[in-house]
Amino acid sequence: MKQRTIAQAVEVLGIGLHTGAPIKLRLEPLGVDAGIVFYREDLATSIPLSPKSVINTQMATVIGSERGSISTIEHFLSVIYAYGIDNIRVIVDGSEMPVMDGSAISFCLLLDEAGIESQEESKRVIRITRDVQVRDGDKFAKLSPSSTATFDFEIDFDHPIIGQQSNRFEFSREAFVENIARARTFGFAKDIQYLQSINLALGATLQNAIGLDDHKILNPEGLRFEDEFVKHKILDAMGDMMVSGYNILGAYSAYAGSHHLNHLLTKALLSDSKNYELVAIESLQSREFAKSFA
């Protein structure tokens, strides 16, 4: 399997979940080994994708430098993971990615419009070679060696609609589009006033998030999946693992995980070369991982 970029430039207009401001997103192809590069058009500054670039994980994954930042990159990056994109320029004219409908499906459609182009060099992936785990009390996030990519997540919310949910997702691009990409972010009405007081969630509506009061879902259309909440957590985890800059071949598992724990996990993973190998995907004994991007 070769490295991938997009076949042509595409763009879309949306709003920011936290700023509420209109944001234009443009995707452009890049050459081999260029990586995933974010660019703030309004500030004329590039931000490379790396755990070292992460500056905040309070309500979203935020990358930045002394010149500026880009928030809420995780939904988009889950699609970059699923489509196996290695090289792409991600251009925004504001401080965050557009939220679209609160899921990742709009970004899937955008990449479908752009088309996928194979490049000359071999695709490289991070293969997990030993367990790496981070904890916060009983909460944890973990990566383990595996011949396939899986995401196993459990949540437990003191809410009658959510409660305890778990889902194990065996990765393939097709399964991602069908079963994960449409899962929306969610929030509680009682938290909105506080979040907006600190300039967060200013663009949140029932058109781009699942809203809940103390007893019920506020969206008139209801849920897209019975377990949409935990599926969105898997979506987030895929995007947060892609902050490493590579697809990860291994088993991810988490209980009550978060953007913060995911960030600590990627940092812990890359802090010791004994934790992983960066390998050409053709050299893997199992060919199933390469087939999962078809």
- Cβ(2)–Cβ(85) under 8 Å? no
Q: Choosing from 232, 259, 260, 263, which is the catalytic residue?
A: 259
> Which CATH code, of 3.30.230.20, 3.40.30.10, 3.30.1490.100, 3.40.50.1820, is assigned to 2-122?
3.30.230.20
Q: Could you give the dihedral angle defined by the CA atoms of residues 288, 289, 290 and 291, in that order, rounded to the nearest 10 degrees?
A: 50
Annotation marks residue 259 as catalytic: yes
Rounded distance between C-alpha atoms, residue 291 and residue 294, angstroms: 5
pLDDT digits (tens, 9 = 90+) for 149-174: 999 999 999 999 999 999 999 999 99
Half-sphere exposure for 93 (CA within 13 Å, toward CB) = 11
- Rg of the chain's alpha carbons, rounded to an integer? 18
pLDDT for res 65: 92
The full set of domain ranges for the chain reads 2-122, 125-291
pLDDT for res 272: 97
- Cβ(237)–Cβ(254) under 8 Å? yes
3-state secondary structure of 152: strand
Render each residue's pLDDT in the chain as its tens digit; 294 residues.
999 999 999 999 999 988 889 999 999 999 999 999 999 999 999 999 999 999 999 889 999 999 999 999 999 999 999 999 999 999 999 999 999 999 999 999 999 999 999 999 999 999 999 999 999 999 999 999 999 999 999 999 999 999 999 999 999 999 999 999 999 999 998 888 788 888 777 888 999 999 999 999 999 999 999 999 999 999 999 999 999 999 999 999 999 999 999 999 999 999 999 999 999 998 887 678 999 998
Rounded distance between C-alpha atoms, residue 85 and residue 102, angstroms: 21
Cα angle for residues 206, 209, 212 (degrees, 5° grid):
75
| Contacts of 161 by beta carbon, 8 Å cutoff, 6+ apart | 212, 215, 216, 217
CATH topology for the 125-291 domain: lpxc deacetylase, domain 1 (3.30.1700)
| Contacts of 104 by beta carbon, 8 Å cutoff, 6+ apart | 75, 76, 78, 79, 180, 181, 182, 235, 239
Bridge partner list, 133: 142
- Number of CB atoms found within 10 A of residue 25's CB: 21
